[in-house]
A and B are shown apart, each in its own frame.
Chain A
Amino acid sequence: MDTLNELLNGFAAAMTWQNLLFAFLGCLLGTIIGVLPGIGPVAGVALLIPLTLNLDATGAIIMLCAIFYGTAYGGTITSVLLNTPGEAASAITTIDGYAMTKIGKAGAALTIAAVGSFVGGTVATIGLVAAAKPLGELGLLVGPPEFFALMVVGISLLVALAGKSMVKAVISGALGLLIAMVGIDPVAGAPRFTFGMDRLLDGVSFVAVIVGVFGLSELLSYRKDTATPTVHAPNLRSLLPTRGEWRRSAPAMARGTGIGFGLGLIPGMTGSVSSLLAYGAEKKFSRHRHELGKGAIEGVAGPETANNSHANAALIPLFTLGIPASPTIAVLMGAFLQQGLTPGPTLFTEHSEIAWAIIASLFIGNLLLLLLNVPLVGLWTSILRVPSSILTALILLFMVIGAYTINFSVFDVFVMIGFGLLGLALRHLDIPLAPMVLTLVLGPLMERSLRESLEISQGDFSIFTSRPISAVLIGLGLLIVFSPLLKLRKPKALNEDPET
């Protein structure tokens, strides 16, 4: 009952005209970012942080959350209409979504995707409401050793799932931690890796690093100026799916919601894994599985529901435990910290009104996106008609403003340029960027909890193994990291496969 009351209070706060406006603007900007192929959700959210600098904490986080899940909707539009995913989680949708476009059913595909996204997002938010109190209370039992162990698990998962090479993922994670260590040491107060520069005493600006590594490096890695695509927006009449399509989509949405929700809770799992598994589930369980790949509505409904369910469920570890489950959530966590809010169990005790207003806004935002997406498909597709040279110039403009306004210093613009080049080098070397951004956010918290733990135990490392929760978590982290060694026991024939 308490939870319901707090949620209702949250709705009252989220439904002030200012907060509704912020949610609306966030949805709008998020959809645009999702549509634009040149910029991903991580850089997109980071780029737009300056817009929220002068807002109150509630409004700022409401807007950034709306941008975050708006990108998941936007990515679908280009997948369906252009066979080009706006973001990775929508990649699998291209198969049946584009096939539907070719047979004149683009409108139905987009509507089902929007409804599925709404369903998945809303169910996951209900899960967040249900989990907030119990997980938050559990989180209060967590001391520095458990907190450190929890982050070890989170980072281990991200490293293990980050890509083809675990070595490269570890390098990426270590780089993020080293960048996070630039500045004043959080315990002793000694300057570290500042190279005598006063500007680095406060550390490297998180937003400048993210915009450089994810945004600028993406632009720099373009092979050639892409031609403006020819887009034909579907007319309004074709937006309505048939009764049969609704009937076929419902079970796919249910499966997608479950898969996305379950995987969204696991740090390191990306939305693309959820949508890929949801597609796999349709291939296995759908009554029309033989039509998949040829324009089956299930191939759109399942993955699109899963990736939005995933995006919203991924907020649960952030809100309750303070663990970002993905790079975009890590950027969101950075925005929380910038607003003076520490995500985790204390969020519900120290800033209860703000936390519940943000949760309530997730329901509102999902509804706003549904209302925005279906009738405005024509508008979103017109963004794709803007020539690439203009888009590139405008994205660069926002990058400069984004980097500059964090500290109102051109130094951060140089930092952004430097990290753009680093990001380009990492992409060229096929080093995943996700572990880097996660450790960049978690680094200071992780170091502080490690050092606090060792100070409590007077330097005895057994503090991590003598406490049950941290011992289990550390064991789990080690198991995740060393599980690839089990592959050595596989038959030789399997080892010859480069994919194994």
Chain B
Amino acid sequence: MTTKSVTTAPKSTVRVAPSVLAGIGAFAAVGAYVLVTSIDLGLWTSLGPGPGLFPFAMGAVLVAMAVVWLLQELRRPSETAEGVDLGLVIAVVLSLVILAAVMDLIGFQLGMFLFLMYHLKLRGRRGWPSSVITALAGSFGAFYAFNYGLNVSLPVSAFPLLNTIGL
């Protein structure tokens, strides 16, 4: 270590991570939206506090904290968190969205069977026997366990043809 490096204050070469800036911006935007909407809801009525008072306070807190966080980041940027496995995120989220979208149409059993087969056979690269057995247990088995064992109804297909065969 040189004398210069000890006596001069180290200049931070680390920049604020774009994801952190995006996060701060998002929180500030949500806070600002809540602030504006709360005023329309009414902050005070003749009976006392209005429906907008509490959200208004929370919106203000969110905006204020976003500003403080930004100042903190500009002074000393926080370490960037590890990135996420984007492939995994897309695969899981997309498959869940498709399942949720079709569950009322094709029923829980068929929808969940296909969902589990995708995650076990295609993504997990499991063998056919273990994939099929697990998917059957998780779809048809879970349907019967919840419907008849726990009296908790899971959706059946909206298509008459599938419905008549018990799906």
Contacts and interface: CB of A to CB of B under 8 A. Distances in A.
Interface of A: 50-51, 53-54, 165, 167-168, 170-171, 174-175, 177-178, 181, 185, 187-188, 190, 192-193, 216, 219-225, 387, 389-390, 392-394, 396-397, 400-401, 404-405, 408, 410, 413-414, 417, 420-421, 424-425, 427-431, 447, 450-451, 454-455, 458-459
Contacts of B130: 390
Contacts of B51: 185, 187-188, 190, 192
Interface residues of B, number: 66
Contact of A192 (B55, B115, B120, B154): B55
Given A181-B58, A401-B146, A393 B41 contact: no
Contact of A54 (B19, B93, B138, B151): B151
Nearest to B34: A178
Contact of A420 (B81, B93, B125, B153): B93
A459 B154 contact: no
A433 to B, nearest CB: 14
Given A193-B37, A393-B134, A429-B81, A174 B100 contact: no
Contacts of B49: 187, 450-451, 454-455, 459
Contacts of B101: 410
B124 A171 contact: no
Interface of B: 19-20, 23, 27, 30-31, 34, 37, 41-42, 44-45, 47-55, 58-59, 61-62, 65-66, 68-69, 72, 78, 81-82, 84-85, 88-89, 92-93, 96-97, 99-101, 103-104, 112, 115-116, 119-120, 123-126, 130, 134, 138, 142, 146, 150-155
Contacts of A185: 41, 51
Is chain A's binding surface mostly helix, strand, loop or mixed?
A: helix
Which 7 pairs, one residue from A and one from B, show the smallest C-beta to C-beta distance? Answer: A389-B124, A185-B51, A413-B100, A455-B48, A393-B119, A429-B23, A190-B51
A417 B97 contact: yes
B61 A417 contact: no
A451 B100 contact: no
B58 A177 contact: yes
22 contacts: A178-B30, A178-B34, A190-B51, A219-B92, A220-B84, A220-B89, A387-B124, A389-B120, A393-B120, A396-B96, A397-B112, A401-B154, A413-B100, A413-B103, A417-B100, A421-B93, A428-B19, A428-B84, A430-B81, A431-B23, A454-B48, A455-B49
Contacts of A223: 82, 84-85
